[in-house]
Amino acid sequence: MAEEAELEVEPSSTSRSEQQAPHFLRDIIFHGKFKLLRALNPEENVHCWHGLYFQDGQRRVDYVLTYTMKKPGGGRSSRQSMHLLAENAVARSLRRGPHSRGEHVQHHQAQNTGGSSHLPSSAAADVELGCVGETFSVHEDHKAFRREEFEGKLREMGLELEKDEDTKIPGVGFVKIHAPWNVLCREAEFMKLKMPTKKVYEMKHSSGVMDKISSLVSKALEPLHPHVEEHQPKNIKHLSHTFSREKQHLFDLSDKDCFFDSKTRGSIVFEILKRTKCKAKYSMGITSLLGNGVYSAAYPLHDGDINDSAEANDRKLLYEEWANYSVFYKYQPIGLVRKYFGEKIGLYFAWLGLYTQMLIPASLVGVIVFLYGCATVDDNIPSMEICHPRNNITMCPLCDRVCSYWKLSSACGTARASHLFDNPATVFFSIFMALWAAMFMEHWKRRQMRLNYEWDLTGFEDEEEALKDHPRAEYEFRVMQKSMNKDQKSQHKMEKLTCQDRLPAYTTNLVMMLLMIGVTFAIVFGVILYRISTKAALHMSSKITRNNVQLTVKTTAAIINLVVILILDEVYGAVARWLTVLEVPKTDKSFEERLIFKTFILKFFNAFTPIIYIAFFRGRLVGRPGSYLYVFESYRMEECAHGGCLMELCIQLSITMLGKQLIQNNLFEIGVPKLKKLIRYIRSKQGAYKEEERQKKLQRYETDHFLEPFAGLTPEYMEMIIQFGFVTLFVASFPLAPLFALLNNIIEIRLDAKKFVTELRRPVAARAKDIGIWYNILRGVAKVAVIINAFVISFTSDFIPRMVYQYMYSPDGSMHGFVNHTLSYFNVSHFQEGKETMDPLYLGYRVEICRYKDYREPPWSATPYEISKEFWTVLAVRLAFVIVFQNVVMLMSDVVDWLIPDIPKDISVQMHKEKILLVDLFMKEEQGKVQILESKSFTGGKDNCSRSNNNNSTIAHQRSGLHANSTNSF
């Protein structure tokens, strides 16, 4: 009993000293007392053990800050040294009495406000404290002081903090942050968060024919919906309103712990961290502290473990119903994604899901177009003429000296394969994909508006978004450097970076962007030289190799292009980020937009420059036999095969698209995060333990420390935008592109989901009403796709030459004779000296006239080898087709845009209804206030009347009493 009494008295006796001690001393004292109480209580709180709550098991951890602790010498940890420092300081202050204790506290507080980065001199010289100066460097002391000052400001803002340096991760300390109810209410009002009120209403749907059909379709697709429990029926919605502390009675506050979910609590704490400023100079919030290394990381916690079978949580539900490959056929639980990760990430996955759904009809039409080409390949007259065994057309050599004459019939396989992608259905498919892109953009706008209504973002304005544009840490650091270079008299003025300050960065950006684009062109040119030299080398080899020269060169060159694209993608991504950091944008929004612009430009040129070359330049800068165009006076420019460049374009496009999707988007996204996680574990010197054992021992905030930091949605959007370019820009040459994109995205959704749920730290929830700049990029790509497909059909394929021949030059209106019509004649005696073939008898006879693909006059005409009138006719029709195709398709896209409203009709009706209900709610509230005031005034009037009557009767009674007394006296 005596011991228990002592335990009860001791905390109360030290609580007064704790209140006067500095913050870091109070944390250490509290931690030491709590360890003692935990030792007395053998039952550990489950929430505490998992690291989701404070040590008391009641206050939830809303945010975590981590920092690096430098180990002191002598084998003693910093936690132990600081603990000894606290114990000795408190013991000494207790022995010296209140006066000495007050002097010690005042001395420490004076140093905090003065901005000193050293510990008290008395503490450094005190023998009881040990040699503090030998164990802590000045730099680490300065960081510790900055942390102490910042955490003190957080406490002044109302946040509750708890430190933990006795972790299983050596050299890492944690600061757990909890936002109490009053802070949450205050910040929710400042951030203008919309919260659901007590008022609920039913969303009535019209009973038309289309609604009945849609209800039947939804019932049929019920197995595709994820098994996510909903707290309320789908047709019931809470009336939401901006949170206000004065109108708390409008909201359902029966369960205050669940009113603000973990996503909202984390975003609220993050806003406080960003705007909290210290007294120390140039310390302007968590972004500055992270940039200066005062803290190493800051992140909210995940809600529990995905493998925890005892407790259900949103993260586990997302893992089972979303981040799992076994549910690839189901819809995404977008509502749950938004609830856990926030609106910005929810909009990305909603956009990705809609894009994948829209690829289904595009894939079906593309497959039908491809099958049409397969079905009609035997009926294609030009390919039949090329493949006919009696075809005795002798073609000119494809290269100088080592190449010889060849028979046109040897290109039979290429001609038949080209028909699979170059047929009349290709034109229809190009028009269809242009309209498909317009439909996709309109459908997304409607889907986005529906999500804005369901997620209560209809009143989210740009002004509210502007409140979050806090200065970045790099910007603050540059401003600090600029201020330090100024005179001390001007240091009190607010500095900012001007265009003059950024001029070197802008110049570097321009030069580096042009240099990187030049590198892309140089690599494409290098691949061209590879194809030319390899083709010549293979023609000098065996006859078997010579027969497969075209296929070998095309395939290997495409693979080389793919490898170069993958390497340069990583390089260009790093260069774009470096250039953006060099500009020092002020806000995160400005940084993101500049980074997106640079990355998109570089990666677009990197991915599409080889394809653009094959589509529009290859085979058009060749010249003619006897007057070829040479590079470096020895490399003759390459020409297309007789089947046209469309087949080579298809090979390049398919290899690039499939390679990027399989290697870059999938393999890298799976392997790189796991490799980084392994390296992080090894660096933490925990490699001696197995991963499973380590996961069991670590608490939640320690486990999340090893996860990869969230780097934003820019890489996710970028790879999908590049894929959208592959699907739309050159779809005329590769109708199967939508199908491969669909198969990739089915995997991509689950891959990204698993990465967000298991591989990344939980991002801070960010509100957003749209996908931002990405929508404008999509619209731009869709517009450019119409122009590029018009040129591909007109100039790359043989659609226009075939149509011109059939309707203008064919004697019977058929395609018979088309191949002979497109071939010109050349007299082999007109070859330049030294350029003729070394084996003129390769075919077994001497060749006098060879043929080549072009529209030129024969050598026996009055103007030999001049461009013929057929060329100008075909060119005029090609240009006319481009103009007509663009205008017609653009007009049809505008009609689709005009016919489909941006806001669904039912959503506009519900929004109008919600406004009326909100007005009624406030009118009833005002009427209730008026009635309460009237009742109070009415009851007050009655009380006054009763009091006056009582007073009058009392006075009359007194008067009558006096009168009676006076009467009796007489």
| Residue 94's pLDDT band (cuts 50, 70, 90) | very low
Which residues 6+ apart lie within 8 Å of 623 measured at CB?
629, 637
Q: Distance (Å, rounded) from C-alpha 172 to C-alpha 601?
A: 40
Asked whether the predicted pLDDT for residue 485 surpasses 80, the reply is: no
Q: Distance (Å, rounded) from C-alpha 756 to C-alpha 572?
A: 24
Which pLDDT tens digit goes with each residue over 372-429? 988 988 888 888 888 887 778 898 888 888 888 888 888 888 888 888 888 888 888 9
Query: What's residue 798's pLDDT?
Result: 86
Asked whether the predicted pLDDT for residue 120 surpasses 60, the reply is: no
Mean pLDDT of 685-694: 48
Which stretches of 494-587 are DSSP H helices?
Answer: 499-539, 543-547, 549-583
Mean pLDDT of 541-559: 72
From residue 37, alpha-carbon distances to 27, 41, 46 in Å are: 15, 6, 16
| Residue 499's pLDDT band (cuts 50, 70, 90) | confident
The whole-chain average pLDDT of the chain stands at 77
Q: Distance (Å, rounded) from C-alpha 224 to C-alpha 206?
A: 25
Report yes or no: 622 and 639 within 8 Å, Cβ to Cβ: yes
Asked whether the predicted pLDDT for residue 73 surpasses 70, the reply is: no
Mean pLDDT of 490-502: 66
Query: What's residue 34's pLDDT?
Result: 43
**Residue-range domain boundaries for the chain:** 136-206+224-301, 334-462+496-684+731-899
Mean pLDDT of 119-131: 37
Q: Which of 299-313, 808-822, 922-936, 942-956 has the lowest mean pLDDT?
A: 942-956
Asked whether the predicted pLDDT for residue 197 surpasses 60, the reply is: yes
Which pLDDT tens digit goes with each residue over 304-325? 777 766 666 888 889 988 988 8
Mean pLDDT of 265-291: 79
From residue 732, alpha-carbon distances to 65, 380, 450 in Å are: 53, 19, 34
| Residue 510's pLDDT band (cuts 50, 70, 90) | very high
DSSP letters spanning 837-896: -S-TTTTSS--SEEEEES-B--TTSSSTTPBPHHHHHHHHHHHHHHHHHHHHHHHHHHHH
Please name which of 580, 419, 602 lies closest in space to residue 509, comparing C-alpha atoms.
Answer: 580
| Residue 532's pLDDT band (cuts 50, 70, 90) | confident
Which span out of 19-28, 663-672, 813-822, 834-843 was modeled with the highest average pLDDT? 813-822
Mean pLDDT of 111-115: 37
Mean pLDDT of 272-298: 78
Query: What's residue 96's pLDDT?
Result: 37
Asked whether the predicted pLDDT for residue 105 surpasses 80, the reply is: no
Q: Which of 326-330, 458-462, 672-676, 754-758 has the lowest mean pLDDT?
A: 458-462
Mean pLDDT of 535-541: 72
In eight-state DSSP terms, residue 423 is S
| Residue 9's pLDDT band (cuts 50, 70, 90) | very low
Which residues 6+ apart lie within 8 Å of 725 measured at CB?
604, 607, 608, 781, 785
Q: Which of 20-29, 142-151, 524-533, 638-647 has the lowest mean pLDDT?
A: 20-29
Report yes or no: 775 and 724 within 8 Å, Cβ to Cβ: no
Mean pLDDT of 912-932: 75
Mean pLDDT of 191-196: 87
DSSP letters spanning 159-207: -EEEEE---SSTTEEEEEEE--HHHHHHHHHHTT-EEEEEEEEE-----
Query: What's residue 83's pLDDT?
Result: 40
* Residue count (the chain): 970
Query: What's residue 543's pLDDT?
Result: 59
Query: What's residue 181's pLDDT?
Result: 92
Mean pLDDT of 193-218: 75
Q: Distance (Å, rounded) from C-alpha 877 to C-alpha 855?
A: 15
- The pTM assigned to this predicted structure is 0.81
Query: What's residue 164's pLDDT?
Result: 86
Which pLDDT tens digit goes with each residue over 213-244? 777 877 787 778 888 776 556 677 788 888 88
Mean pLDDT of 683-698: 54
CB atoms within 10 A of CB 567: 12
* Beta pairing, strands 63-68 & 172-178: antiparallel
Report yes or no: 729 and 333 within 8 Å, Cβ to Cβ: no
Asked whether the predicted pLDDT for residue 829 surpasses 50, the reply is: yes
| Residue 775's pLDDT band (cuts 50, 70, 90) | very high
Mean pLDDT of 801-825: 89
Q: Is 113 exposed, middle or buried (0-12, 13-18, 19+ CB in 10 A)?
A: exposed
| Residue 87's pLDDT band (cuts 50, 70, 90) | very low
| Residue 355's pLDDT band (cuts 50, 70, 90) | very high
Asked whether the predicted pLDDT for residue 357 surpasses 80, the reply is: yes
Please name which of 318, 353, 362, 433 lies closest in space to residue 771, comparing C-alpha atoms.
Answer: 353
Q: Which of 415-419, 927-931, 947-951 has the lowest mean pLDDT?
A: 947-951
Buried b (16+ CB within 10 A) or exposed e, 225-253: ebeeeeeeeeeebbbbbebeeeeeebbee
Paired residues of 299 in beta bridges: 64
Report yes or no: 254 and 263 within 8 Å, Cβ to Cβ: no
